[in-house]
A and B are shown apart, each in its own frame.
Chain A
Amino acid sequence: DIQMTQSPSTLSASVGDRVTITCRASQSISSWLAWYQQKPGKAPKLLIYKASSLESGVPSRFSGSGSGTEFTLTISSLQPDDFATYYCQQYNSYPIFTFGPGTKVHIK
């Protein structure tokens, strides 16, 4: 089974900061990686798919990169609406999926 890790598990940042979250896969998943944002009491929202493709309607301050086993989600200038938990998900082994453990972004 493919295992996913994320770092950091939590981070504190200020509005306007550049934020980077890393996701690693236990084996190559090519570019079959998605990023989701989840706010308390809400369903996850798709931000990025195929490692670097921005979902329609998602602000351009979000970007993704990477391939193989290492991936990053970058928020170029953190906004108040961005404080949330972020999850990566591999779908290389579809129909079996694996999520990362999540990264919670706090207000500093």
Chain B
Amino acid sequence: EVQLLESGGGLVQPGGSLRLSCAASGFTFSTYAMSWVRQAPGKGLEWVSIISGSGGSTFYADSVKGRFTISRDNSKSTLYLAMNSLRGEDTALYYCAKATDTGLTDYWGQGTLVTVSS
């Protein structure tokens, strides 16, 4: 059974930093691209970033480019999102998600909440 468990969320001041983690199990982690998707309170889904199975390719939404860094440790089956220069508009529930080889997002974690506020 595929399981994705996010952690690392919390309250952070504007301009601060946070690192999210996503522990994966139930599939061969290194084979699949992984994404982060966020959802601001009461709002829709926003794709944030994706990383290839090897970790060699990364892509970002314009809204986070230059501030967020996605990475992975395939030996630990863990995905990361380092978030710097955080802003109020980054406040959201952050989901870790698995992609198939065609790019379909087929499994989601339960999310970790990031609140940016002074």
- Judge whether B104 and A99 touch: CB under 8 Å: no
Question: In the complex, how many residues of chain B place their beta carbon closer than 8 angstroms to a beta carbon of chain A?
Answer: 23
- Judge whether B47 and A97 touch: CB under 8 Å: yes
- Tell me the number of A-to-B contacts counted with CB atoms below 8 Å: 62
- Judge whether B103 and A97 touch: CB under 8 Å: yes
- Judge whether B35 and A97 touch: CB under 8 Å: yes
Kindly state the interface size class of chain A when it binds its partner: 20 to 34
- Measured in the bound complex, the distance between the Cα atoms of B95 and A49 in whole Å is 19
Q: Enumerate chain B residues within 8 angstroms of A97, measured Cβ to Cβ.
A: 35, 37, 47, 50, 103, 105
- Measured in the bound complex, the distance between the Cα atoms of B114 and A43 in whole Å is 16
Q: By DSSP majority rule, is chain B's interface helix, strand, loop, or mixed?
A: strand
Q: Which 10 pairs across A and B sit closest by C-beta, in order of nearness?
A: A94-B103, A43-B108, A91-B103, A97-B47, A99-B45, A102-B44, A95-B50, A95-B59, A101-B44, A49-B104
- Judge whether A96 and B45 touch: CB under 8 Å: no
The answer, among A32, A98, A101, for a CB contact under 8 Å with B47, is A98
Mark interface residues in A86-105 (1 if CB within 8 Å of B CB, else 0).
Answer: 01010100111111111000
